[in-house]
Structure 1
Amino acid sequence: MCSSNHLSRREFLAGTGALLLGSTMDVRAAGVTFQEPIIDIHQHVHYAARPDDVLVAHQRAMGITHTILLPAGTPAFGTSTHQGKTNGLQAQCDGNEACYGIAQRYPGEFVFGSNEVPDLPDAVQEIEKYLKLGGRVIGELKFGVDCDSKEMQRIYKLAEEHNVPVLMHWQFQMFNYNFERFPKMLEKYPKVNFIGHAQTWWANIDKGHTDQSILYPKTKVTPGGLTDQLLRDYPNMYGDMSAGSGLLSMTRDEDHAREFLTRHQDKLLYGSDCDDHIGSGEKCQGAQTIAEIRKLAVSKTIERKILYDNAKKLFRIA
């Protein structure tokens, strides 16, 4: 999560709005565009209570041209939400209707996913409702369940039927248990494109990562960890570069990261997962991740794949 750097909300919106409007007018007057498009595959509505207009301005300030909004599930109080403690994706995020609403207000700029707590009795029906309305992804699936449970497999089957990816938050002993068993799911659902995200996913780029309780390792990386293997061996496995864990996967060992980005250039996707209010500077995690990708990609082609091309293809964005 990215800490917020608060200006006066009125000052921020006025300043960025004028800047963006002026930039847009200049581009239109010239009849060309100089902005390289960027797709952010991982954002949330009301993230840490951020207002909707600040979210929109934040994305524009980062230079994002297309944002995928990932909803939370319905508030519930069973084991999968840790008796309600992790409702709202543990970050006050809002649900399906809120994400759908912003996508309707900003067509072409925001699209939405669909989500629900997997062990609720109408989970599949709720997810399918928003897929039929145009949802592009199922997730973020961030619940305290086994990754190969019958409830999760019903969701994977639904993703197969609707030809949409599934984005999963992997966090040891917290969300999507038993990461080591997930290859069986990739094999069982070869037509479903899965996107890995979060601490346990990114920690396991390292073959030497044996203590799964360490969520943010900072040591040098030995290639060949489980995450590295999944990206290499399964055509239906992708990686979401968002959040502190995605950023750390690059900054902890930049020499390894250059090779990793090259090796998996067709499987990696930029996301921010950032609750910042500004959209730039040292406190904006999303902006830092863009800068790190640009720094470490060994060619412009690889940079553009990760920031735009891969997501455009996977999410069928026009």
Structure 2
Amino acid sequence: MERREFLVGTSAFLAAMALKNKAFAVDESYPIIDIHQHTDYMGRTNDQLVNHQLKMGVSKTILLPSGSPVNYGSTHYGYSNGLQAKATGNEVCYALAQKYPDRFLFGANEVPDVPNAANEIEKYLKLGACVIGESKFNLECDSPEMQRTYQIAQEYNVPILMHWQYNMYNRGFERFHKMLSKYHKVTFIGHSQTWWGNVDKNLTNQNILYPQGKVTDGGLTTKYLNDYHNIFADISAGSGLKFLLRDEDYAKGFLNRFQDKILFGSDCYDPDATGPTCHGSNLIAAIRRLAPSVDISRKILYGNASKLFKITV
């Protein structure tokens, strides 16, 4: 599981990387947009979330809601409610964005196969939601229910952010090129373990969610980014951080090659943004350290999201 599995046995690793990146942790020369945060994430209060983002130096944050809590197969019969992270839904994200309009934007989400899914998503898109997601459900990526969500994204001209996790969420990653072609007007944003693991051509066992060692170029994720104009990468959470740090030489080239398609997100539930388990702070530091130039790090941390979501700071 994206959050729990990453933390088990990695505290020392993250502490070491935090020290390594410490000098790069704060830089106010340009703003930062965080495209991936959650309200009430693993019990963190919204006041803690506000302070967390401020301490990271984030200027604007997109809040990604969960869907309704339901006992459906698409939520593993309730196990995955709250995005499997106790995250709260549309109304909470909307309310926090209304309270702090200068700091937060909000997304729209719903379990795709509940009867009112389309109406619920459209309700918040009409209120100003800038993205659909986080789409994290136990459904085939080309199922009728998911395709209806893509159609809504197309109709409202908003991106959709998808959590790819083998045999768990958004099944059928190897078939997703068909959806990229069919819904070529929709901007898709890829995220999580299966997304980042499949940068590596040699990832043959999809059950390995956090592969280690040198990366061999040419994996399915890389092909999607190369071949399709409408797919972007959300470099957030433990999966994004581990990708950057497993093979830093490869990561530098990757950041250079896809500098116009990578978006920073934290997807971090750390309460104060100062500990070694704060994915967001460590990601910011790693991006600044590994990006081949300040211009590229600025694109990833600010410029690409500003352009895609039409955000000005």
| TM-score using structure 2 length | 0.91
1:92 to 75, 86, 90: 86
1:61-110 Cα offsets, whole Å, 9 max, x none, are: 00000000000000010100000011000000000000000000001210
**Does the residue aligned with 2:277 lie in a helix, a strand or coil?**
coil
Q: Which structure 1 residue ranges, 4+ long, deviate > 6 Å from structure 2?
A: none
Mapped to 1, the partners of 2:267 and 2:146 lie a distance apart of: 23
2:249 to 242, 245, 255: 255
1:165 aligns with 2:159: yes
Residue 283 of structure 1, CA deviation: 2.3
1:46 to 40, 47, 61: 40
In structure 2, the partner of 1:303 is 297
In structure 2, the partner of 1:316 is 310
2:110 to 107, 116, 120: 116
2:230 to 230, 233, 236: 236
In structure 1, the partner of 2:212 is 218
2:193 to 188, 199, 205: 199
In structure 1, the partner of 2:60 is 66
Mapped to 1, the partners of 2:287 and 2:233 lie a distance apart of: 14
In structure 1, the partner of 2:100 is 106
1:282 aligns with 2:285: no
Q: Which runs of 5+ in 1 are unaligned?
A: 4-32
Q: Which runs of 5+ in 2 are unaligned?
A: 8-26
Mapped to 1, the partners of 2:217 and 2:293 lie a distance apart of: 21
1:236-293 Cα offsets, whole Å, 9 max, x none, are: 0000000100001110000000000001000000000000011124221110000000
**Does the residue aligned with 2:134 lie in a helix, a strand or coil?**
strand
Mapped to 2, the partners of 1:84 and 1:270 lie a distance apart of: 29
2:123 to 121, 129, 142: 129
Tell me the C-alpha RMSD between the 2 structures: 1.2
Between 141-150 and 273-282, report the one with greater CA deviation: 273-282
In structure 1, the partner of 2:24 is none
Q: 8 Å contact 2:107–2:133 — kept in the other structure? A: yes
Mapped to 2, the partners of 1:34 and 1:113 lie a distance apart of: 26
| Percent of residue pairs bearing the same amino acid type | 60
**Does the residue aligned with 1:196 lie in a helix, a strand or coil?**
strand
| Amino acid in the other structure paired with 2:31 | P
| Amino acid in the other structure paired with 1:77 | N
Mapped to 2, the partners of 1:296 and 1:34 lie a distance apart of: 18
State how 1:262-277 maps to structure 2 within 5 Å: 262-277=256-271
Residue 34 of structure 1, CA deviation: 5.0
In structure 2, the partner of 1:10 is none
Residue 192 of structure 1, CA deviation: 0.3
Q: 8 Å contact 2:28–2:57 — kept in the other structure? A: no
**Does the residue aligned with 1:42 lie in a helix, a strand or coil?**
strand
In structure 1, the partner of 2:15 is none
Larger radius of gyration: 1
Mapped to 1, the partners of 2:167 and 2:202 lie a distance apart of: 19
| TM-score using structure 1 length | 0.89
In structure 2, the partner of 1:186 is 180
Residue 35 of structure 1, CA deviation: 4.6
- How many residue pairs align between the two structures? 289
1:154 to 148, 151, 161: 148
Mapped to 1, the partners of 2:29 and 2:218 lie a distance apart of: 36
Mapped to 1, the partners of 2:147 and 2:35 lie a distance apart of: 23
| Amino acid in the other structure paired with 2:244 | M
